[in-house]
Structure 1
Amino acid sequence: MNAGCLTIKELTDAVGGGLTPRMVRHYHQLGLLPQPVRSPSNYRLYTKKDVLRLQRIVALKQQGFQLNHIRNILEVEPEADTTVNLMGQLQQQYRAVMQQISQLRQTASALEGLLGRDRHCQIMQAEVLAQLKLLDVETQAGLGGLENLWSGLDAEIHTHSEAFSESLQRLLPDLSHRSEIEQHLISQLVLTCGDVSLVSFVKLSRDAIAASREALSSSCQIVVDTQTVAAALDQTRLSHLGCQIETLIDNPHITTATEAEVAFWQHREWREKLQQVSQGCVLVVGYAPSVLVEVCEAIANQKIQPALIIGMPIGFSHAPAAKRQLMLQKIPYITVEGTLGGGALAATALNALVESLIDKPDCHCYLN
């Protein structure tokens, strides 16, 4: 065996990240990894260069890139003129992925239309499911019959109000591994945006619930990025706890993420105001990514020490980056990965924590 070379098992051990020999062989077949030299005994032999390439592949895969995207990225040198062409290819692939998501969303909507029905609709729901099995969709009459089935099911909504909790029980993934307080928090977030897929993007640090209850019980200061977020908070319950609300961008005319982002960068006094928030406060960021970036920098420089950060700004580049920075801080946090977010979600997160604290002050489920 050549000196300095690794077997396929030694290669996977060196790269880590859950990589297996079978995956390495698959990457060879896809052209992601060049074919290695062989030993006299026909064993694959790998070098440090192979380790580095595989580490890049694993890292990109963990960030959500598909294998065909990764191959295109790795084939282009950073300085090459083909980088422009690569961006065009990635844009086309992004559109294809979004089309797939749209199609899956249509399927999910159809399933939600059935599974989300409460017990009052179950008789009609059973009839619809029975008819769907027999429906001949090859004819126009069949398609009309399908519309009639949905119309019959939809007619049931006029007989009673929607039972949100019951619908959620049918649609939410298994959350039994989460505490009762976390389950309530996640359910409220889903109800706010109407999208069950949000569940997989909600991230809480292990100490987030404990930190929130301790801070709120101590009548901590609540600092929000805009007045729109402040207006969505449960001020009655917060007053009961003795928590005062402070707004960083205290201009009532700033109501969108775009306005908040520009305003925060243009006005130095609001950035200085952030540096002066009280120790042990709860920071709620629902709009401006730059606010969350500044928060993370202030924490890293030990200028502020909040008890909890609810970081859910909106944005397509800075917001996901700011959230990743947040999750690297040693401060308890609640966030929604990626571009998803908004003032309504951020306020809902805090309101759910406040509600749980007041309704169940002695609950310790989150410590298990």
Structure 2
Amino acid sequence: MVRHYHQLGILPPPERSRSNYRLYTQENVQQLRRIVALKQQGFQLSHIRELLTSDAAIEVKNLTHQLQQQYHSVMQQMARLRQTATALEGLIGRDRSCQNLQAEAIAQLRLLEVESQDGLVQLEQLWENWDAATHAHPEEFQESLQQLLPDLSNRSEIEIDLLSKLVLACGDVSLVNFIRVGKGAIAAARHALTQGCEIIGDVAPVVAACDRTRLSHLGCPVTTLIADPHVSSVVEAEQAFWHQSQWQEQLQQLPAGCIFVVGYAPSVLIAACDAITKGHFQPALIIGMPIGFSHAPAAKRRLMRSGIPYITVEGTMGGGLLAAVALNALVESTIEKPDCHCYLGK
């Protein structure tokens, strides 16, 4: 591969020893590390060459256009994979009541011919016939999840319950691959909840989705950081926190030992991490699931490096509902299984 990179012009040709051995410098090694890192992020070699060898001021517009094209191509591939996953979920995600139908469906698929438009119509008819069976009984979500979730045998019972509830909240089993539960996060959450800690949400819609009944049973008060009833969207939350200093000042005064739930504004999570670094904020747990395409992933990475127990979803995924569902799952398991210590050994 190194020789290939030389041929492409990504790596400059190295000097040679008298015995004709290639002599690489530390700068060459660093360049190679950059190439490997960019490849792992999905960049094509042609884009890597432009990134590392072109004059950024001249090529940035052209390269940005190319990267946009690559992004749209990746999204199309993901859409096709999502369609395949949906078809598989429709088959293997059936509960016991649908097992006979499942066997029949697989048998029919084996005989299906879709080389013509008539075949596609036949496939649509099969889906309609299978969908008709859903009227016979309610869906058994736990049975479906058992068929679809990856192997979670290395997770505790409490964490599996948390992951399952998050998947059911969004209907996407792949979310499990992006959920990150920090070391000691579940223990910290359960201890704080049993001590009647304060629950603070970043905006009113997040707070509204919290299980007030169970939290009241635990003696946990619930408050809102951006206490503006007119803030009801991610855009409004981000702008309000960024432009109105009162909310930033209030964050600095949040009580130690609280559970901080961020489901909307990435700037709130970034500011919380700053306050933690400066010693101004010491929560028991942060549930950090803001939405955003550049700031949110960065904010989540900072959270995972903060040293504070956390629960987050890597990348752009998240939202107020998922953040509240994560909190509610912890609250419910704390009440329903107060003597469970399975999470301590994981």
Q: Shorter chain as normaliser: what TM range?
A: over 0.9
Is the CA contact 2:47–2:63 (under 8 Å) kept in the aligned structure 1?
Answer: no
Q: Under a length normalisation based on structure 2, what TM-score does the superposition of the two structures give?
A: 0.94
Is 1:213 aligned to residue 166 of structure 2?
no
Q: Is the contact made by 1:121 and 1:153 (CA closer than 8 Å) also made in structure 2? A: no
1:200-245 alpha-carbon deviations (Å, 9 max, x no partner): 1111111111111111111101011011001101111111111001
Residues 279, 229 of structure 1: CA spacing in aligned structure 2 closer, same or farther, 3 A cutoff? same
Structure 2 match to 1:102:
79
Q: Which segment is superposed worse, 82-91 or 283-292?
A: 82-91
1:258 corresponds in structure 2 to 235
Aligned residue in 2 for 1:308:
285
Indicate if the aligned counterparts of 2:215 and 2:331 stay in contact, CA closer than 8 A. yes
Query: 2:309 maps to which residue?
Result: 332
**Take 1:345 and 1:26, find their aligned partners in 2: how far apart are those partners?**
45
Cα distance in 2, alignment partners of residues 162 and 286 from structure 1? 29
Q: CA deviation at 1:62?
A: 5.0
Question: Does residue 71 of structure 1 match 2:32?
Answer: no
SS of 1:277's equivalent in the other structure is coil
**Partner Cα separation in structure 2 for residue 308 and residue 254 of structure 1:** 24
- Where do residues 227-306 of structure 1 align in structure 2 (5 Å cutoff)? 227-306=204-283
**Structure 2 partner of 1:57:** 35
* Residue 158 of structure 2 is aligned to residue 181 of structure 1: yes
Judging changes above 3 Å, is the alpha-carbon distance between structure 1 residues 65 and 364 closer, same or farther for their aligned structure 2 residues?
A: farther
Give how far 1:42 is off.
Answer: 5.1
List per-residue Cα deviations over 1:58-109 (Å, max 9, x = no partner): 443455545554333223334x311111111111111111111111111111
Give yes or no for contact 2:255–2:283 (8 Å, CA) kept in 1.
Answer: yes
Question: 2:89 and 2:149 mapped to 1: Cα distance?
Answer: 11
1:50 partner letter = N
- The change in CA–CA distance for 1:285 and 1:84 in structure 2 (over 3 A counts) is same
2:280 and 2:222 mapped to 1: Cα distance? 20
**Identical-residue share of aligned pairs (%):** 65
Corresponding residue of 1:317: 294
Kindly provide the amino acid, as one letter, of the partner of residue 137 in structure 1: V
1:47 alignment partner, one of 22, 25, 32: 25
Q: What is the one-letter code of the residue matched to 2:196? A: S
Change (3 A) 1:64 1:329: farther
Kept in 1, the 8 Å contact 2:101–2:130? The answer is yes
1:82 aligned counterpart, secondary structure = helix
**Cα deviation, residue 143, structure 1:** 2.2
Contact 1:192 / 1:348 at 8 angstroms: preserved in 2?
A: yes
Structure 1: stretches of 5+ with no match in the other structure: 1-22
List runs of 5+ in structure 2 lacking aligned partners.
none
Counterparts of 1:139-178 in structure 2 under 5 Å?
139-178=116-155
Deviation at 1:25, TM superposition (A): 5.4
Q: Which residue in the other structure is 1:9 paired with?
A: none
Other structure's SS at 1:248 match: strand
Distance of 2:47 and 2:84 partners within structure 1: 25
Contact kept? 2:206, 2:263, Cα under 8 Å? yes
Distance 1:140 1:97, change over 3 A: closer
Question: Aligned partners of 1:240, 1:333: CA distance in 2, in Å?
Answer: 24
Deviation at 1:348, TM superposition (A): 0.4
Alignment RMSD, CA only? 1.8
> Which of 171, 176, 182 lines up with 1:194 in the alignment?
171
8 Å Cα contact 1:283/1:308 also seen in 2: yes
Partners in 1 of 2:6 and 2:50 — Cα distance?
Answer: 15
